[in-house]
Chain A
Amino acid sequence: MIDIDRLCWIAKIELDSKEKEKIKKDIEKILEFFEVVKEMDVSIEMCKSLVFKNFPEKSLRKFEEEKIIINFPKREGKYLEVPIFLK
């Protein structure tokens, strides 16, 4: 049984009650479709960890500041404005 409220909270997705009902049914149907993979007889191994190479200096790219901050939804000068979270 999917706890759709908890799932929405973790995924940071807001749904109304009608949407929740529909999407819960969809998800349960899709997960049922996925059940077939459990038929395969496998020994579960740990995934190999990814090793990230350090990028060499030449690959670091400098951007024009204005081109980045033009996309801020709300700003004051060069500063990005976000809702208050420390109360």
Chain B
Amino acid sequence: MKTSTKEIIEDIKSDFEGHLDKVMSRIEKYEKKINSFITLIDIDKKSVKNRGVLEGLLIAVKDNILVEGIRCTAGSKMLENYISPYDATVIERIKREGGIIIGKTNMDEFACGSDGTKSAFGPTKNPIDLSRVPGGSSSGSAAALKAGFCDLALGSDTGGSIRCPSCFCSVFGMKPTYGLVSRYGLIDMAMSFEQIGPMANDIYGLALLLDVISGKDHRDSTTVDKPVDSFVNFIEKIDEKYFNGKKVVIFKEFFERISKIVERKFFKAMDILLSFDIEIREISFEEIKYIVPIYYILVFSEFSSAMQRYDGLKYGFRGECSDLWKCIMKSRKILGEEVKRRILLGTYITSKFCYKDLFLRVNYIRERIKKKISEIFKEFDFILSPTMPTLPWKIGEIQDSVEMYQMDILTVLANVCGIPALNVPISEMIGLQIMGKWFRDHEVLSLGKIFEMYLLKKWD
């Protein structure tokens, strides 16, 4: 099975229908075991007219990104029958460039999860090991990509929701700089943290999709009005000399909680950098120990506000009752346990009892962490770490919420600060994370390409 994006494009140019048939037959054979899709879309084989740069590539889209006329569930029974009235900006751009949406992928309900088991439509399985979690919340997108059910995929990343499943399913996945990609048409979880991002089997695929989806959108005021140079052009022209003199930092505190095998594989991969004139230094970042609680306090607060709209009145599931208030309560009863827990926590955190102690306090700490990262980036070019602290756990193994939240320790920093972050698969179900400066997504992809070239043929 061809996995290189360039090879797939050549395949499509010569025989799109043949390529589509191959993919659909894989889906027919294996999808029941993996459960990566919530909705599969009927594709008219003769519909590929405008090739654009995406050349008819088949793209799986996380089911919290709106595709006009197709149901958009966000992994929840609340929206089981909700039909999108419009395309998200990223989808408009993909369609304009000839990308074909093959289906809407499974996800943790309203993106509330890190392992892919909290969807109302059943858990997704890891295609590498069906007894293990694929990671979440963009579980279906990563699993579909790994299983060969699509050529590229889209996910969303609030605290690692692209990088975690990319790591566990051994594919590439990137959270772009906050403000690079429009969130118009994304069912939001926490608006100040999340970004839509690409997932692919190689760096070229990531760069190609990022070229299409990024850039200013007048419908999303958080997108930044600055020209975006082509990521594909940049990574194709980069050579190894570009990295000579660059400086990489790793944070000591990241390694206090990771498993031995992850640590071993990470440092083995880091040996690649010794071939270049790249300085690697380890420093202490004390605020790391607060990063997970800071992240979740803010995310729960934003999430509880975002979820207010799901009251069964205008759209979504409506629980019948003659009284308006009871109707709203009965409608929201259909939400999953983790979603309800987060709503209740967010409501509590923003209440007068702990607004100052928790919510205001961590907003200030967030700014302090951003300033500290900014200072670090005056001296260093990249922050490297493993993507996840352990191998993917067995389905059902982690039930405790706090234990689950702590699995995000390595990924949430990028969302707290808004910096770009990329997962590079360095071994089976183990990833290396590259974080870079704001709006230097090109450089992050390029360093990822170096690892890709040197490592991927040699991983065991």
Residue A63 interfacial (CB < 8 Å): yes
Decide yes or no whether B157 CB sits under 8 A from chain A: no
Using Cβ atoms and an 8 Å threshold, which residues of chain B touch A34? 293, 296-297, 358
List which A15-31 residues lie within 8 A (CB) of chain B. 15, 19, 23, 26-27, 29-31
Cβ–Cβ contact B341 & A37, under 8 A: no
| B348 pairs with A7, CB closer than 8 A | yes
Are the CB atoms of B361 and A59 closer together than 8 Å? Answer: no
Binary flags per residue of B134-176, CB closer than 8 Å to A gives 1, else 0: 0000000000000000000000000000000000000000000
Complex interface residues of chain B between 319 and 333 (CB less than 8 A to chain A):
321-330, 332-333
| Best-buried of A15, A58, A82 by chain B (most CB within 10 Å) | A82
- Which size bracket describes the interface of B in this complex? 35 or more
The CA-CA distance from A31 to B358 in the complex, in Å, is 10
| Given A2-B348, A13-B343, CB of A80 within 8 Å of CB of B314 | yes
Q: Which residue of A lies closest to B327 (CB)?
A: A83
Chain A residues near B314 (CB, 8 Å)?
71-72, 80
> Of all chain B residues, which has the CB nearest A56?
B218
Task: Tell me the A41-68 residues at the B interface (CB within 8 Å).
Answer: 42-47, 52-53, 55-56, 58-59, 61, 63-64, 67-68
A78 within 8 A of B: no
Partner of A44 from the list B82, B218, B321, B360 (CB cut-off 8 Å) is B360
A76 CB within 8 Å of chain B: no
**Which chain B residues lie closer than 8 Å to A52 at the CB level?**
221
Please measure, in the bound complex, the distance between the C-alpha atom of A83 and the C-alpha atom of B312, giving whole angstroms.
11
Whether the pair B324, A38 counts as a contact (CB closer than 8 A) is: no
Distance in angstroms from A14 CB to nearest chain B CB is 4
**Is B83 touching A71 in the complex (CB atoms < 8 A)?**
yes
Contact call B324/A7, Cβ cutoff below 8 A? no
The verdict on A83 contacting B345 (CB below 8 Å), with A13-B329, A14-B332, A72-B314 known, is: no
Q: How far, in angstroms, from A46 to B356 measured CA to CA in the complex? A: 9
Is there contact, CB below 8 Å, between A7 and B344? yes
Identify which of residues 294-329 in chain B touch chain A, using a CB-to-CB cut-off of 8 Å. 294, 296-297, 304, 308, 311-318, 321-329
- Distance to closest chain B CB from A19 (angstroms): 8
B219 within 8 A of A: yes
Given contacts A11-B304, A45-B364, A67 and B85 within 8 Å (CB-CB): yes
Shortest Cβ gap from A8 to chain B (Å): 7
Q: Are A84 and B324 in contact (CB under 8 A)?
A: yes
Query: In the bound complex, how far is the Cα of B425 from the Cα of A30, in angstroms?
Result: 32
Q: How far is the CB of A33 from chain B (nearest CB, A)?
A: 5
CB interface residues, B 411-429, toward A, < 8 Å:
none
CA of A2 to CA of B318, assembled, Å:
29
* Complex CA–CA separation, A64 to B341 (angstroms): 36
CB distance from B342 to the nearest CB of A (A): 10
What chain A residues lie within 8 Å of B333 (beta carbons)?
A: 13-14
B118 to chain A, nearest CB (A): 14
User: Could you jot down 21 A-B contacts, CB within 8 Å?
Assistant: A12-B329, A13-B340, A23-B337, A23-B341, A30-B296, A31-B348, A34-B296, A36-B289, A37-B362, A42-B364, A46-B360, A53-B221, A61-B86, A67-B86, A68-B85, A71-B316, A73-B313, A73-B317, A80-B313, A83-B327, A84-B322
Q: Measuring CB to CB, which residues of chain B are less than 8 angstroms from any residue of chain A?
A: 68, 82-83, 85-86, 218-219, 221, 289-290, 293-294, 296-297, 304, 308, 311-318, 321-330, 332-333, 335, 337, 340-341, 343-345, 347-348, 351, 356-358, 360-365, 368, 401-402, 405
Which A residues contact B (CB, under 8 angstroms)? Answer: 2, 4, 7-8, 10-15, 19, 23, 26-27, 29-31, 33-34, 36-40, 42-47, 52-53, 55-56, 58-59, 61, 63-64, 67-68, 70-74, 80, 82-85
Q: Please name the 10 residue pairs, one residue from A and one from B, whose CB atoms are nearest each other, closest first.
A: A73-B318, A67-B85, A71-B315, A85-B324, A14-B329, A11-B347, A59-B218, A34-B293, A83-B324, A83-B327
Q: Contacts A13-B335, A36-B289, A45-B360 given; 5 further ones with Cβ under 8 A?
A: A11-B347, A39-B290, A42-B361, A59-B219, A63-B85
